[in-house]
A and B are shown apart, each in its own frame.
Chain A
Amino acid sequence: MTLPNSFRVAWEGVMLNKLRSFLTTLGIIIGVAAVIIMLAVSAGAEAAIEDQISGLGANLIMVTPFRSFGGVRGGPGGGGPGSITTFTYDEVLFLSQNLNNVSGVSLEQSTTQTVKGGVSTLNSVSIVGVTADFLEVRDYEVGAGRFFTHAENDATQRVAVLGAGIAEDLFNDADPIGQQVRIGSSRFTVIGVMAEQGVVGATDNDGRIYIPASVVFKKFGGTGFGGDRVRMILVKAEDGDALEVVMDQITALLAGRRQIDPNEPNFGVRTQQDIVDARASTTAAFRSLLAWVAAVSLVVGGIGIMNIMLVSVTERTREIGLRQALGARPRDVQRQFLLEAVMLSLVGGLAGLVFGVAGSFIFGELGGMRTELVPLSLPLAFGASAAVGIFFGYYPATQAAQLDPIEALRRE
């Protein structure tokens, strides 16, 4: 039998019982759509994490105590959970005075306070102590007024820069610059308002107030800011090429000051790429889990096809007998039923592609989660559905081919 003929006969078989074919195909549709959506969801999650971390700013180096982040750079050891070594504000100043090839050194020490200003009182506002390099380190911009200077920071001036959201909440349309705000029990003068940023990741950057780090550590002694210890130092290298050099400098300087072996530091020095990589390995595990779950649903769809093909072979035994009597060889019969199974799965695969792509967008738009279509997942899922059709269609087709024409013709 010629191939076009085989295709036509197989298609007629599929169309013989439309509802049944559709229901059988549904298993594959769901399987393929699940593969595509699952991969899109996990790729979206990865991208969101990556954005969040790279949102910290480019060429950024994070100096952290051990065990505050995933991966560790700088060798083993470094103390257990009880001996976490944070940093002092002096160490931050020391680094900022002695590092070369950097465009800024900052820290972010935050707490929440009640804030009064203008006509409003706001509870649980995020107050962040930063250095004057903060804007440079984070690539942030001021929308109105100015940020505080090194001189103001050194002189522990009580000045504040408001997030765009806070400024609006406190002063509405009035100009907040030069106004007083009360943070906890202290008065601050507003000297600037940050440019509007919106929500990045899970953080509302417009809902923060920035004050000089010196005020946090020298005036308040870190009260309410998690003690007088700095939890993380942020260093921005001049450019990407300087990253390694700066990291080595940080390790050498801090280790020298602490009088410890630079090869066994009790702090970690990492770039955001290191963190991205560490996160990526966990999301990769998550992704492969999702992919397996989706693959299982494809296999279940395949079993559905096998089931319906076995029923079909039984129901059409007489037709098979007739075709054999008219000259169909066993392989002609086998091909007919195998093609039928493959067609079911391919039609399912195609519909699954459409639903998968549409589903990914709908999830992204309405589900509140970020999805990113993985281009490779489309041929992968489609190919898998074809393979499922061949694999699960083979047995029923072989059963059909092996029928004895005399027996088959006698069947009612």
Chain B
Amino acid sequence: MSEFVIEIHRMTKTYGEGDIAVHALIELDLQVERGDFVAIMGPSGSGKSTLMNIIGCLDRATSGLYILDGEDVSQMNRDQLASVRNRKVGFVFQSYNLLPRLSARKNVMLPMMYNGFQNWSEEQRSDRAAELLELVGLGDRLHHLPTELSGGQQQRVAIARALINDPSLILADEPTGNLDTRSSAEIMAIFHRLHQQGATIVMVTHEPDRALEAQRTVNVLDGRVVSPESEMERLVVS
């Protein structure tokens, strides 16, 4: 198995054509090792969101190479990308995105509905979901609806959902953006624990404090990855 979960080479993403073309990503390179905990930072308009969408296989690059967990996903069609998302990516969103009419456990089981663990019985799936909810500290909230849970609890359900298909990558988009300090700390604690257990985590954030908690930070600016040093230079020069 490859030592990298994410290998991106000379990736370009262009919206539109000709004079009105907007280059969101320009020949960007990025590698994320297995077990790494990376924070992606950058101001709005930097291409940070575009990069995250491509890493999450929600979007495709205009050109360049993207190998996710040893699988070249650069040329995949919509169906193949859906399958890759299902098997390899665990999404954690800023606004949790739980289905309001489903219990915590059913929400966690949702990704299994789409090809994941096809040969598991309903009971096994249910047990697995309960296990994961236990792991994020919601063992006593299995049957609660999202509306009956606090923001922090909802985000923990979302993390359990992200883990259900044993993904190669956890992709968190501003996971603490909607949470108070205490809940944020709880969420970050879960990420740290997962990281220690060997999970690969990519977290997009605009909060420097959160970024500092990660193992390393990748700064995106004008569609390129900039090293902290060069960023420092830029600030000093200007």
Contact = CB atoms under 8 A, between A and B. Distances in A.
Interface stretch (A317-325, A340-348, A386-394): A317-325
A176 interface: no
A329 B78 CA distance: 7
Interface residues of B, number: 26
Interface in A119-138: none
Contact of A326 (B53, B78, B110): B110
A325 B115 contact: no
A12 interface: yes
Interface string B52-64: 0100101100000
B118 interface: yes
Contacts of A2: 113, 118
Nearest to A321: B97
Interface in B92-133: 93, 97, 99, 101-102, 110-111, 113-116, 118
A326 B99 contact: no
B85 A330 contact: no
Given A406-B53, A406-B59, A322 B97 contact: yes
Interface in B34-81: 53, 56, 58-59, 78-79
Contact of A329 (B79, B91, B118, B165): B79
Contact of B85 (A1, A5, A327, A332): A327
Contact of A406 (B58, B79, B83, B161): B58
Contacts of A325: 56, 58, 85, 91, 97
B58 A5 contact: no
B121 to A, nearest CB: 12
Contact of A332 (B97, B114, B165): B114
Interface of B: 53, 56, 58-59, 78-79, 82-83, 85-87, 91, 93, 97, 99, 101-102, 110-111, 113-116, 118, 161, 165
12 contacts: A12-B102, A318-B97, A324-B82, A326-B91, A326-B114, A327-B87, A327-B115, A328-B82, A329-B79, A329-B83, A329-B114, A330-B79
Given A324-B82, A330-B82, 8 more contacts: A5-B113, A318-B97, A323-B110, A325-B58, A326-B85, A326-B86, A327-B114, A406-B53
